């Protein structure tokens, strides 16, 4: 029997609701053709409008309601369609069909987002990024609703409203937007030791990614796999980008926010449109049920990760995004994720943050999308036909025949009927529970600093410097000295030198805080509460530093070619061909937008002028060969823009290639000068300048330059 192609079915299903209005008459929502869309119906040309103008009323009413409440968190987002391909079967661990059959492809929609800002905020805020995947599987929709950081601020969902209220704009003046650098956020953090591991991540470069395509994704929580035999394993989910994990400098992030606040959204859209489809390796960390308690932390604690040195990530699949939405609102904005959307073979753990999310998401979708029928919106529909006894409600679309809407029944022949577990029916994992009803937290959750130490210890010198600068920037925005002092008191448990440095810069003393027991049971083991000085079992992890990420590709990197009339066409064409052959995108920059004429008459059309863009929007720069071009770039009109462009790019440790006869520009700038050990600067005198330029772009940045020249980015 031929297998059903669910991927095509989902694509067809979505496109059934896609409208192409070319060569079509204007109509009302009921399909009535409109003969006049310019004037409302009036009592005389200058008279009052008439209530009976049903066309006006329909148009205005729909306009009045075309904005839905934005998400409380993750409001600012972008998304795309794609596929998930399983490269290695996980049938040994789970009976989920989309994870069991090697080679199987499953359609997906992925939404990336920032957490704290509103829908109109900048993409480049220092923030956690959402990484949510909806798998349209043959057994129903499965949602993996994760982040680009593997841990979270809090251990229990009871604190989630407090966290969000603290980080959102302060209620008295609605300031600041999309920023954590203010009193209420750090007041909350200073009183929550469990947040310190997440703070290390949030203050690191992971919180300002170069692109959605260059950040990791994590399921955050510990989930369960259940196989056909009923055997259970714990599992952590990972998405590792094929392009590596890369960031921008904080100074860059603030400038990009001014130049192009849609930077990440545009980057994702353009990459897919250009065929540079974003890809991630999908991996799992599998833990046998009997090993649940073998770690020096609790698997159910969402403020902890499992070091890859202790449990390696097994890469088993590939996530590829290959199609942009047809309509942002209908798809990206209306997609409704829920960690409770499961398929057989995957189940929840007792993580108290995850347990709270299971309630929150349905409640949120009801508020945002206005109806319990939000699952019938095309982007949310299962590729399976839905059969149940749920009826009516706002915006009901499915038409169910017959008189039966209850179970059990005999009139409908007992249909729809319960599916047996062996036939794909979902069944929760059997778990023995024998406990007292209590508002408390397990004493195994008390260790708040060891993994914060692990993360900080794992960072390279430039990454540590960036993290330090981020803490200093954020805390100097805090107006209450007592809050700054408490935060430094928390940092003292992570790294004394870090605490001392930050304390000096923010004007407080280093005083370790007394550790509160919080909601720990009164009969807890006192030894377990002495967690502040505990060292992690794994002292350092290479997986936690971006220094060790993929640096062998320039695919989709944006390289600016700065040029004027008289540029050497041979050099330009040769380098352009080499870069584009390796997947990079070349964009011409000039003093204006008039075509640039090369030495052989070739014409190049600039995409940008020196005044309409900035170096922060490019991954690398090439000062095109040719003395005439170089002289024009240094004339009185162009010189300020040219030199600022180069100095700023160099400040941010980017690769810059000075072509033949451009030495005067190099000498006029503050860029690396004649230091041939500076791998960020390539000149025509290098042995293989084009190859070295490619290698420098692939390395992303030469962050070490910051410490060498004592000029932090």
Q: What is the pLDDT of residues 330-383, one digit of tens each?
A: 999 999 999 999 999 999 999 999 999 988 888 888 889 988 889 999 999 999
In the chain, the number of structural domains is 3
Domain annotation covers residue 136: yes
Active-site annotation holder among 74, 81, 182, 652: 74
Average of per-residue pLDDT across 244-269: 97
Q: Does residue 79 carry a pLDDT above 60?
A: yes
For position 16, what pLDDT does the model report? Answer: 47
Q: Does residue 523 carry a pLDDT above 80?
A: no
For position 17, what pLDDT does the model report? Answer: 56
Q: Does residue 678 carry a pLDDT above 80?
A: no
Average of per-residue pLDDT across 571-583: 98
Higher pLDDT, 250 or 512: 250
Q: Does residue 123 carry a pLDDT above 80?
A: yes
Is 473 found in the same domain as 539?
yes
Domain annotation covers residue 479: yes
| Portion of the chain with pLDDT greater than 90, in percent | 73
555 and 584 Cβ atoms separated by less than 8 Å: yes
Is 504 found in the same domain as 566?
no
Is 249 found in the same domain as 117?
yes
Higher pLDDT, 40 or 228: 228
- Looking at the chain, the number of H-run helices and the number of E-run strands are 18, 18
Radius of gyration of the chain measured on its C-alpha atoms:
28
Is 555 found in the same domain as 511?
no
Which of the residue ranges 216-225, 272-281, 535-544 would you say has the lowest mean pLDDT?
535-544
Q: Does residue 558 carry a pLDDT above 60?
A: yes
35 Ramachandran zone, left/alpha/beta (phi>0; psi -120 to 50): alpha
Q: Over the chain, what is the mean pLDDT?
A: 91
For position 1, what pLDDT does the model report? Answer: 40
pLDDT digits (tens, 9 = 90+) for 387-401: 888 888 888 888 888
Active-site annotation holder among 81, 141, 147, 700: 147
For position 122, what pLDDT does the model report? Answer: 97
In whole angstroms, what is the distance from residue 435 CA to residue 679 CA? 61
Q: Catalytic annotation on 74?
A: yes
For position 362, what pLDDT does the model report? Answer: 86
Residue 414 banded pLDDT, cuts 50, 70, 90: confident
Average of per-residue pLDDT across 101-125: 97
DSSP string spanning 257-284?
A: HHH-TTHHHHHHHHHHHTT---EEEEEE
Domain annotation covers residue 166: no
- Spatial neighbors of 562 by CB under 8 A, at least 6 apart, are 589, 590, 610, 621, 622, 623, 624, 633, 642, 645
Q: Does residue 6 carry a pLDDT above 50?
A: no
Domain annotation covers residue 59: no
Is 628 found in the same domain as 683?
yes
Strands 223-226 and 232-241: antiparallel
What's the CATH number where 484 sits? Answer: 1.20.1370.20
Q: Catalytic annotation on 147?
A: yes
354 Ramachandran zone, left/alpha/beta (phi>0; psi -120 to 50): alpha
Q: 112: domain range?
A: 76-157+191-380
- Angle in degrees, CA 390, 396, 399, rounded to 5: 75
For position 39, what pLDDT does the model report? Answer: 83
In whole angstroms, what is the distance from residue 713 CA to residue 705 CA? 9
Domain annotation covers residue 397: no
For position 515, what pLDDT does the model report? Answer: 61
Is 150 found in the same domain as 92?
yes
Angle between helices 352-369 and 160-167 (to 10 degrees): 60
């Amino acid at each position: 029997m031929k297998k059903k192609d669910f991927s095509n079915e989902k694509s067809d299903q979505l496109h059934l609701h896609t409208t192409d209005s070319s060569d079509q008459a204007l109509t009302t929502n009921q399909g009535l053709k409109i003969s006049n869309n310019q004037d409302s119906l009036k009592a005389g040309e200058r008279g009052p409008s008439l209530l009976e103008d049903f066309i006006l009323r329909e148009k205005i009413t729909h306009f009045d309601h075309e904005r839905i409440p934005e998400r409380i968190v993750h409001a600012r987002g972008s998304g795309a369609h794609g596929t998930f391909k399983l490269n290695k079967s996980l049938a040994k661990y789970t009976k989920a069909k989309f994870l069991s059959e090697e080679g199987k492809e499953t359609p997906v929609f992925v939404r990336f987002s920032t957490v704290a800002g509103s829908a109109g905020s900048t993409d480049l805020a220092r923030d956690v990024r959402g990484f949510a995947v909806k798998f349209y599987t043959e057994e129903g929709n499965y949602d993996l609703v994760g982040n680009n950081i593997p841990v979270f601020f809090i251990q229990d969902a009871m604190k989630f409203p407090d966290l969000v209220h603290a980080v959102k704009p302060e209620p008295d003046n609605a300031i600041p937007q999309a920023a954590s650098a203010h009193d209420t956020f750090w007041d909350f953090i200073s009183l929550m030791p469990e947040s310190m591991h997440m703070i290390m991540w949030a203050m690191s470069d992971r919180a300002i990614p170069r692109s959605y395509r260059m950040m990791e994704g994590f399921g955050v929580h510990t989930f369960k796999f259940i196989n056909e035999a009923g055997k259970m394993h714990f599992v952590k989910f990972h998405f590792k980008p094929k392009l590596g994990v890369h960031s921008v400098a904080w100074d860059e992030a603030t400038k990009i926010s001014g130049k192009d606040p849609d930077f990440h959204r545009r980057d994702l859209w353009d990459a897919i449109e250009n065929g540079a489809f974003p890809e991630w390796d999908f991996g799992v960390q599998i833990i046998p049920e009997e090993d649940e308690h073998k770690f020096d932390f609790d698997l159910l604690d969402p403020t902890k990760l499992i070091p890859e040195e202790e449990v390696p990530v097994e890469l088993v699949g590939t996530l590829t995004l290959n199609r942009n939405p047809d309509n942002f609102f209908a798809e990206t904005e209306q997609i409704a994720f829920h960690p409770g959307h499961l398929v057989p073979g995957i189940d929840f753990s007792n993580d108290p943050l995850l347990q709270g999310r299971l309630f929150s998401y349905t409640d949120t979708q009801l508020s945002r999308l206005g109806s319990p029928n939000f699952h019938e919106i095309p982007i949310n529909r299962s590729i399976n036909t839905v059969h149940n006894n749920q009826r009516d409600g706002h915006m009901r679309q499915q038409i169910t025949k017959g008189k039966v809407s209850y179970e059990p029944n005999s009139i409908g022949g007992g249909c729809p009927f319960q599916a047996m577990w062996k036939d794909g029916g979902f069944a929760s994992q059997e778990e023995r529970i024998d406990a007292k009803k209590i508002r408390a937290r397990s004493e195994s959750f008390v260790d708040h600093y060891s993994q914060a130490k692990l993360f900080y210890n794992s960072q390279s010198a430039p990454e540590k410097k960036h993290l330090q600068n981020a803490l200093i920037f954020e805390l100097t925005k805090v107006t209450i000295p007592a809050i700054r002092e408490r935060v430094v008191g928390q940092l003292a448990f992570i790294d004394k030198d870090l605490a001392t440095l930050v304390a000096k810069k923010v004007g407080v003393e280093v005083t370790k805080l007394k550790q509160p027991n919080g909601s720990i049971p009164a009969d807890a083991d006192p030894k377990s509460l002495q967690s502040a000085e505990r060292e992690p079992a794994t002292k350092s992890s290479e997986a936690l530093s971006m220094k060790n990420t993929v640096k062998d590709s320039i695919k989709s990197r944006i390289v600016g070619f700065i040029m004027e009339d008289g540029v050497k066409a041979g050099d330009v064409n040769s380098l352009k061909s080499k870069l584009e052959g390796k997947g990079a995108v070349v964009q011409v920059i000039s003093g204006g937008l008039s075509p640039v004429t090369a030495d052989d008459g070739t014409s190049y059309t600039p995409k940008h002028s020196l005044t309409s863009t900035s170096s922060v929007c490019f991954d690398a720069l090439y000062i095109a060969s040719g003395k005439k071009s170089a002289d024009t770039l240094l004339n009185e009109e162009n010189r300020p823009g040219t030199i600022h462009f180069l100095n700023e790019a160099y400040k941010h440790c980017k690769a810059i290639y000075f072509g033949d006869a451009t030495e005067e520009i190099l000498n006029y700038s503050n860029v690396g000068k004649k230091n041939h050990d500076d791998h960020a600067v390539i000149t025509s005198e290098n042995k293989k300048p084009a190859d070295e330029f490619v290698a420098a772009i692939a390395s992303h940045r030469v962050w070490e330059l910051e410490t060498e020249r004592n000029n932090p980015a």
